A and B are shown apart, each in its own frame.
Chain A
Amino acid sequence: AQTIHQWPVAEIKAVGSPLSLGCTIKGKSSPNLYWYWQATGGTLQQLFYSITVGQVESVVQLNLSASRPKDDQFILSTEKLLLSHSGFYLCAWSLRGDSDYTFGSGTRLLVI
């Protein structure tokens, strides 16, 4: 069975500090991977997608970056956090471009 694990579960970080969020998918080879973000009370927005190792495409510019160092790993990061980065971050995978998405449990980030 496929599993998707996100870490950490929650973070409180200072403005200007770095951030790294991780996502690991097990039991599925070469999945499409995605990062989503939801501001408090807001709509989920797709930030990045990746269809293969080493290739990541940006969908929305939020002064964040993403990388896919391994087939089963997707990393979201920034060197300097902004207050506007607060929210809920979700990682997802799908088998193909047109198949259902499965989401991880998410990371809640508060920037102060």
Chain B
Amino acid sequence: GQQVQQSPASLVLQEGENAELQCNFSSTATRLQWFYQRPGGSLVSLLSNPSGTKHTGRLTSTTVTKERRGSLHISSSQITDSGTYLCAMGAASSSFSKLVFGQGTSLSVVP
């Protein structure tokens, strides 16, 4: 079945450093959607783009569909950015979509 691999599994940064999170997927994706998972478990959608580059605030998502990979860049990290980042690949048929999640990257930003 479709698989999504995220790397690194965990990352520790000093405040102000940049973070680069990677996502590789096993089959053709219609889009890549990035989420932040709060400690309680709920998901916050960050960015979604089928291909190319998209920005919002300090976040940049880049998807290279032909190479089956994507990345999330977080610039000038802040302590409040700490948490789990999930990458999800969309694979749509004509009638439904299946969003397949990676196992996540745990980010810790320290002073």
CB of A102 within 8 A of CB of B45, answer yes
B51 smallest CB distance to A (angstroms): 13
CB of A100 within 8 A of CB of B96, answer no
Known: A97-B92, A101-B45. A43 touches B97 (CB 8 A): no
Please tell me the size bucket of the interface on B.
Answer: 20 to 34
Smallest CB gap from B44: residue in A:
A103
The interface residues of chain B, by DSSP majority, are classed as strand
B46 smallest CB distance to A (angstroms): 11
CB of A59 within 8 A of CB of B98, answer yes
A57 to B52 Cα, complex, angstroms? 32
Residues of B within 8 A of A102 (CB): 45
Interface residues of B (CB under 8 A from A): 30-31, 33, 35, 40-43, 45, 48, 86, 88, 90, 92-104
